[in-house]
């Protein structure tokens, strides 16, 4: 019966035990290699990494810091090579610069940090005897996008008043992308990336006195006084007192064309502005693009965008131009979820309601479409730029930090990581509901939903919780109905990906079970549904990001290794990956079966 038998195809490995090793630990019989690490030169002319003599110019040609989302795209013109795109979410100055003084960063340190943010495009080659991947430096497609690269604002709010600044009176050109968290790979061969915690880069919210503008800044988490990195001392656009609209030019989904290193990357206003964790595209049957998006904040919302135009097939320049405009026009929706069990059965502790499941139905509430607003008292432009305020008015469901999202290529069902929400049920905050059923939720949950009629453009969906994470021995956890004595403990799901078998892979950030973060695989259908198995763990202080699961390899981004309170270059908390006495370095890791076979076969 249910709960016995072999693990699902693709997940047949010996699970890694929870641990606190300062290493990437993979299953027995698996090998691993570092694909690329912070500071490795990727552009022509960039020097080798030398942390004691780092410069902004060097960093601008080297792989950036804190790799998060990963995308691997095909490179058909070159045998055994693929195109890797990685985001660089933020910088840990105390681990990058010896003797760093957070009160008084130097101009060079700040400019290095600007160059270490953004994204990297780097060609990688597949080693033939193993599943290893290795970076190909100086390839013509390699590219760095940083905090100062020019972006174009596109879509219905481009050029609107809240996007205009003294440097850009037209409101259409922005320098840089910041806080790039998860993302998505489009069916038309581009990469999307969400600008998430960009509020941290801006100073002096208290100097904005216009009541509406001040309220919007507050809703988006901007704070008074100096910013953490003091960038405002070196570029006035980070000072809200001097340039109040610059902050409105961040918080978008950006799209880059990794096949054209000369292309100007874009920020898509039609997809709304919030703390974008991810942007996961799929197509409707008639070829329109649908993008699912989480706003990663406690009690914030889950969104989708549906394009009005259809993707075209083919490779010509005209087709490419058309597809690159798909995200300029469409409808932006936010999710409202209703449970089907009586509210009094949701006890805040994760006890299953009498019908045996946390489940219900949902509606997609339209916020704006092109120039038309569906929100009282807000213009369409205001809906796009201040999307959180629009969704507040629309009565969207307050979720437990929506992170990454992924539709199953096998079933069409969609999986949303809700990482945690320790404020749920606190005084003055929202209490539990059937989709967010636990108070003081430390471990998070994974929600599964099916669009009605399997139509991703539709207005209704059915949902249930697939996993209620934590220690399987905790009665308030749930693993898709699978016997809990046979699963790996999992906490704080963040990034999600599917393999070709239809297994969901989940990476974690912030494990609250006393062991390090890691990567897990789980079947979503069939008799093995819910049997979570741990595939790897990451070093001290790191989160696991960006999983990509291919037939012969698993790729993860090891983000912020050694990020532990009080740690510094002089007092490191981790010696990964290069060993004691070396700088700790965020890096991309590939893992593969040493016998050259398939993952989890």
The contact set with ligand FEO (CB under 6 A) reads 89, 181, 196, 277, 296, 403, 494
Choose from Ca ion, ligand FEO, none: what does 89 bind? Cβ within 5-8 Å by kind.
ligand FEO
Read off the tokens for 224. 């008074």
Q: Which of residues 164-223 bind Ca ion (CB under 5 A)?
A: 181
Closest distance of CB 562 from ligand FEO, Å? 17
The stretch among 201-209, 350-358, 425-433, 590-598 that binds Ca ion (CB under 5 A) is 350-358
Between residues 137 and 194, which has the closer beta carbon with respect to ligand FEO?
Answer: 194
Choose from Ca ion, ligand FEO, none: what does 341 bind? Cβ within 5-8 Å by kind.
Ca ion
Which residue of 381, 509, 517, 563 would you call a contact of Ca ion, by CB under 5 A? 509
Choose from ligand FEO, Ca ion, none: what does 359 bind? Cβ within 5-8 Å by kind.
Ca ion
Burial class (CB in 10 A: 0-12, 13-18, 19+), 125: middle
Find the radius of gyration of the CA atoms of the chain: 23
| 436: contact with Ca ion by CB under 5 A | no
CA distance 479 to 484: 7
Choose from Ca ion, ligand FEO, none: what does 196 bind? Cβ within 5-8 Å by kind.
ligand FEO
Between residues 181 and 390, which has the closer beta carbon with respect to Ca ion?
Answer: 181
Closest distance of CB 182 from ligand FEO, Å? 7
3-state secondary structure of 468: strand
| 232: contact with Ca ion by CB under 5 A | no
Closest distance of CB 445 from ligand FEO, Å? 15
Closest distance of CB 404 from ligand FEO, Å? 8
* First-to-last C-alpha distance (Å) of the chain: 22
Closest distance of CB 598 from ligand FEO, Å? 30
Closest distance of CB 275 from ligand FEO, Å? 7
Choose from ligand FEO, Ca ion, none: what does 355 bind? Cβ within 5-8 Å by kind.
Ca ion
- Strand-pair category, 298-300 with 399-400: antiparallel
Between residues 112 and 181, which has the closer beta carbon with respect to ligand FEO?
Answer: 181
Between residues 41 and 546, which has the closer beta carbon with respect to Ca ion?
Answer: 546
Choose from ligand FEO, Ca ion, none: what does 432 bind? Cβ within 5-8 Å by kind.
none
CA distance 546 to 496: 8
Closest distance of CB 560 from ligand FEO, Å? 10
CA distance 198 to 201: 6
Cβ within 8 Å of residue 226, ≥6 positions away: 203, 204, 232
CA distance 387 to 373: 11
Strands of 354-484, DSSP E: 359-369, 372-373, 399-400, 402-407, 414-418, 445-451, 460-468, 478-479
| 494: contact with Ca ion by CB under 5 A | yes
Between residues 448 and 494, which has the closer beta carbon with respect to ligand FEO?
Answer: 494
Give the closest residue to 446 by CA, choosing from 529, 365, 364.
529
Q: Which of residues 328-347 bind Ca ion (CB under 5 A)?
A: 340-341
Closest distance of CB 170 from ligand FEO, Å? 31
| 33: contact with Ca ion by CB under 5 A | no
8 Å CB contact between 546 and 120: no
3-state secondary structure of 1: coil
Return the number of other C-beta atoms located less than 10 Å from residue 338's C-beta: 13
Closest distance of CB 39 from ligand FEO, Å? 21
Closest distance of CB 197 from Ca ion, Å? 9
Between residues 366 and 402, which has the closer beta carbon with respect to ligand FEO?
Answer: 402
Considering only the C-alpha atoms of the chain, give the largest distance between any 2 of them, rounded to a whole number of Å.
68
DSSP code per residue over 537-590: E--TT-EEEEEEE-SS-EEEEEESTT--TT--SSS-S--TTT-TTS----EEEE
C-alpha triplet 50, 52, 53: angle, nearest 5°? 70
Between residues 359 and 509, which has the closer beta carbon with respect to ligand FEO?
Answer: 509
Identify any residues that bridge with 266 across adjacent strands, giving them in sequence order: 152, 255
| 22: contact with Ca ion by CB under 5 A | no
Residues making contact with Ca ion (CB under 5 A):
181, 340-341, 353, 355, 357, 359, 494, 509
């Amino acid at each position: 019966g249910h709960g016995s038998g072999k693990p699902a195809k693709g997940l047949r490995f010996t699970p890694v035990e929870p641990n606190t090793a300062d290493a990437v630990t993979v299953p027995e019989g698996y090998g691993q290699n570092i694909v690329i690490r912070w500071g490795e030169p990727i552009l022509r002319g960039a020097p080798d990494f030398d942390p004691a003599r780092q410069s902004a110019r060097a960093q601008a040609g080297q792989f950036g810091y804190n790799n998060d989302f990963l995308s691997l795209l095909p490179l058909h013109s070159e045998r055994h090579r693929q195109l890797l795109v990685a985001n660089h979410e933020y910088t840990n100055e105390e681990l990058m610069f010896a003797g760093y003084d957070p009160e008084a960063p130097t101009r060079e340190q700040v400019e290095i940090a600007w160059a270490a943010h953004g994204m990297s495009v780097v060609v990688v080659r597949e080693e033939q005897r193993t599943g290893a991947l290795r970076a190909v430096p100086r390839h013509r497609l390699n590219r760095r996008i940083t905090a100062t690269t020019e972006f174009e604002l596109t879509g219905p709010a481009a050029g609107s008043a809240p996007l205009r600044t003294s440097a850009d009176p037209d409101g259409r050109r922005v320098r840089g992308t910041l806080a790039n968290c998860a993302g998505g790979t489009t069916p038309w061969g581009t990469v999307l990336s969400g600008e998430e915690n960009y509020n941290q880069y801006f100073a002096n919210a208290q100097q904005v006195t216009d009541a509406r503008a001040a309220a919007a800044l507050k809703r988006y988490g901007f704070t008074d006084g100096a910013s953490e990195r003091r960038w405002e001392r070196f570029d006035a656009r980070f000072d809200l007192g001097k340039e109040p609209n610059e902050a409105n030019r961040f918080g978008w989904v950006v799209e880059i064309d990794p096949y054209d290193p000369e292309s100007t990357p874009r920020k898509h206003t039609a997809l709304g502005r919030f703390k974008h964790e991810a942007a996961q595209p799929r197509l409707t049957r008639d070829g329109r693009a649908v993008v699912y998006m989480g706003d990663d904040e406690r009690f914030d919302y889950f969104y989708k965008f549906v394009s009005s135009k259809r993707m075209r097939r083919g490779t010509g320049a005209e087709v490419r131009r058309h597809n690159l405009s798909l995200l300029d026009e469409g409808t932006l929706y936010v999710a409202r979820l209703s449970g089907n069990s009586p509210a009094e059965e949701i006890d805040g502790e994760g006890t299953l309601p009498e019908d045996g499941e946390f489940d219900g139905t949902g509606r997609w509430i339209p916020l704006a479409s092109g120039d038309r607003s569906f929100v009282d008292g807000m213009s369409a432009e205001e809906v796009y730029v201040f999307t959180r305020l629009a969704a507040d008015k629309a009565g969207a469901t307050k979720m437990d930090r929506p992170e990454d999202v992924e539709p199953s290529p096998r079933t069409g069902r969609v999986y949303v990581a809700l990482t945690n929400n320790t404020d749920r049920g606190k005084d003055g905050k929202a209490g539990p509901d059937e989709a967010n059923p636990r108070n003081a939720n430390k471990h998070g949950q994974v929600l599964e939903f099916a669009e009605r009629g399997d139509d991703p453009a539709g207005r209704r969906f059915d949902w249930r919780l697939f996993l209620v994470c934590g220690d399987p021995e905790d009665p308030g956890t749930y693993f898709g109905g699978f016997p809990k004595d046979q699963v790996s403990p999992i906490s704080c799901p963040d990034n999600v990906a599917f393999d070709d078998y239809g297994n969901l892979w989940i990476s974690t950030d912030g494990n609250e079970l006393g062991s390090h973060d890691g990567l897990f695989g789980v079947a979503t259908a069939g008799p093995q549904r819910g049997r979570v198995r741990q595939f790897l763990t990451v070093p001290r202080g790191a989160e696991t990001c960006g999983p990509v699961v291919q037939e012969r390899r698993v790729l993860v981004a090891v983000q912020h290794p050694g990020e532990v309170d009080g740690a510094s270059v002089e007092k490191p908390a981790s010696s990964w990956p290069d060993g004691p006495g070396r700088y700790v370095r965020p890096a991309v890791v590939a893992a593969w079966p040493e016998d050259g076979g398939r993952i989890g076969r």
